[in-house]
Chains A and B, each alone.
Chain A
Amino acid sequence: MIKIWAIALNTFREAVRDKILYSLLFFALLMIGSSVLIAELIIGEYGKIIRDIGLAAISIFGLLIAVFVGIGLIYKEIERKTIYTIASKPVPRWQFLVGKYFGLLGTLATEVAIMAVAYVLVLNGIGAGTTSAMLPAIWLTFMELAVVTAIAILFGSFTSPVLSALFTVGLTLIGKMSEELVLLGQRSESGAVRFLMDTVYKVLPDLSRFDLRTQASYGLEVEWEYVAYATGYGAAYAAALLVLASIIFRFRDFK
């Protein structure tokens, strides 16, 4: 555990010193802050719009960090040859990957926490108020980031950053539309299409399970069983991706 912890802490330190991260955080906070102005311009329920924009900002900027820091996480180690001194130590390669993963996850947790605090401050500042579903919504946004980070690590373990970014963004977008895939399959008269859509849905991550924005914005109740189920699903999916990444990474040559 000491080795995974050392790599995770090192990754966290590296990430928090990355200027891109601060730029993204700055824009996220700006967006949360400006949601007040945006809400003024849109006809509708003032508080609901602000709650929705704030949660969207946390999700979008979290995803940007997960994808763009995540894809470079392994590649940079290989490109800068820092991996040489780590892989030549008694550290199994899976421990290296898991350490890198938890390091970035720690960074994301910090980022999400900062954005969440800013979000709640804005809501309370303008008297829009918080809802009971907000905490589960933010938590599941973090779980979504945990899955996307694992996707980025998987592709980053064997492809270039450009391909990694394409695959990760692609898979994330499909994952967000997975409910539509099921609907598409159900509406089709072809058995093959139904089977294909059903298989795609089962294999690819269903990121829509982590989306509680509507419930949080409208102040609807969320069952804790659902949150626990979605958390379990995210953790299991991320773990499966990391196992796959570890198998691929184990046989990789470092040129």
Chain B
Amino acid sequence: MSETAIRTEGLRKVYRTGFLRRAFVGLHGLDLEIPRGEVFGLIGPNGAGKTTTLKLLMGLNSPTSGTAQILGEPIGSMRAMARVGFLPERPYFYDYLTATEFLHFYGQLHGMPRARRIDMIDRLLPLVHMERARDTQLRKFSKGMLQRVGIAQALMNDPELVVLDEPSSGLDPMGRLLIRDIVRDLKTKGTTVLFCSHVLSDVEEVSDRVGILIAGKLQDVGTVDELVGKRETTVEVTLHGLTDDLVAELPLQPHRVSSRGHHIFEAADHSAARALVAAAVERGGELFGYVARRESLEQHFMDEATSVERQDREAGVR
């Protein structure tokens, strides 16, 4: 049994568009390896190649060049697809089916016998909090409910690899929490999860590793700590009991003033923060808060995206 859930080597996709069949590179030679049991989050701005990557892996599109394997099998092979669950972005389903009929249909596509389908449906509908809607037609579902049954269909075959494209799309905070819980449960079971999301806090929270895809190129891969730990932390210092004159004498100026009159400062590091606190206490001020802030994945992602955009502009590429 392969220890690698997903392996891509030089995976490239060129789309031909328009009457003149102009080339547009959707993905530039992706090299990626995701071990079994890992939760891997793929992030990137719109048009970065995230969905292209997932479509190639799911056999929906053929690569222009390069190779990829899923669970040791070539992408698109029936043996690979039998062990994978997939939820596309903004999924559309047959809306005249009830939730139960819908899951039976996808179970049949996996060649599952009826008894096993019934068993899975009885397990999955409560898991996605949809047991009450089991006999309701999908056309009566809200966007969030569709997303939930969409996740249930992706889990019908008890897959070894689950691929989710924007699973939190259209979900309320409770729904997002549910997705995070499902991903954690899958990880506990040893299931590999690959997912794309714009909700970076979700990615940060559940992913073992994160890949940043920008303009069809994988810019960075690593754990959240590895990615954001490359940057210095900042320290947020909140001081109380200082007049404006005294604040003007401090080595740093406040970032903002809270509604309760607290002065909030952002120091570049701990030594700067300590010097600020000492100067404030000397002038009769009180330390109200001291929080060391790590750069968020979102900040890191924004920096990467801005940097690539600047490089492309300088190189004359749109």
Residue numbers of A with Cβ under 8 A of B are 2-3, 5-7, 10, 13-14, 17, 80-92, 251, 253-255
- Among A14, A90, A253, point to the contact of B110 (Cβ < 8 A): A90
What's the Cα separation between A87 and B153 when bound, in Å? 13
- CB contacts (< 8 Å) of B111 on chain A: these are 2-3, 90
Q: Is A91 in contact with B109, judged by CB distance below 8 angstroms?
A: yes
What's the Cα separation between A208 and B28 when bound, in Å? 53
Q: A89-B106, A92-B78 are in contact. Are A82 and B92 (CB under 8 A)?
A: yes
Q: Is A85 in contact with B106, judged by CB distance below 8 angstroms?
A: yes
Q: How many residues from B make CB contacts under 8 Å with A?
A: 30
Instruction: Give the distance to chain B from A227, nearest Cβ to Cβ, in Å.
Output: 35
- CB contacts (< 8 Å) of B300 on chain A: these are none
Interchain residue pairs with CB less than 8 A apart (15): A6-B109, A14-B94, A81-B90, A82-B93, A83-B60, A84-B86, A86-B109, A88-B86, A88-B88, A89-B81, A89-B109, A90-B81, A90-B110, A253-B62, A255-B61
Q: Is B58 in contact with A88, judged by CB distance below 8 angstroms?
A: yes
Q: Is B108 in contact with A6, judged by CB distance below 8 angstroms?
A: yes
Q: Is B91 in contact with A13, judged by CB distance below 8 angstroms?
A: no
What's the Cα separation between A82 and B91 when bound, in Å? 7
Q: Is A254 in contact with B153, judged by CB distance below 8 angstroms?
A: no
- CB contacts (< 8 Å) of A10 on chain B: these are 94, 97, 105
What's the Cα separation between A5 and B87 when bound, in Å? 23
- Among B55, B90, B96, B109, point to the contact of A254 (Cβ < 8 A): B55
What's the Cα separation between A5 and B108 when bound, in Å? 9
- CB contacts (< 8 Å) of A85 on chain B: these are 86-88, 91, 93, 106, 150, 153
The chain A residue sitting closest to B107, CB to CB, is A6
Q: Which of A2, A7, A85 has the most CB of B within 10 A?
A: A85
Chain B window 94-114, contacts with chain A (Cβ cutoff 8 Å), 1 for yes, 0 for no: 101100000001101111000
- CB contacts (< 8 Å) of B62 on chain A: these are 251, 253
What's the Cα separation between A121 and B239 when bound, in Å? 93
Instruction: Give the distance to chain B from A158, nearest Cβ to Cβ, in Å.
Output: 14
Q: Is A81 in contact with B88, judged by CB distance below 8 angstroms?
A: yes
What's the Cα separation between A91 and B79 when bound, in Å? 10
Question: Could you tell me which residues of chain B, from 68 to 98, have a CB within 8 Å of some CB in chain A?
Answer: 78-79, 81-82, 84, 86-88, 90-94, 96-97
Q: Is A84 in contact with B82, judged by CB distance below 8 angstroms?
A: no
Question: Could you tell me which residues of chain B, from 122 to 181, have a CB within 8 Å of some CB in chain A?
Answer: 150, 153
What's the Cα separation between A80 and B146 when bound, in Å? 14
Q: Is B61 in contact with A14, judged by CB distance below 8 angstroms?
A: no
Instruction: Name the 8 nearest CB pairs between A and B, nearest first.
Output: A6-B108, A84-B88, A90-B82, A89-B109, A88-B58, A88-B86, A253-B61, A90-B81
What's the Cα separation between A92 and B82 when bound, in Å? 11
Q: A3-B108, A90-B81, A90-B110 are in contact. Are A13 and B93 (CB under 8 A)?
A: no
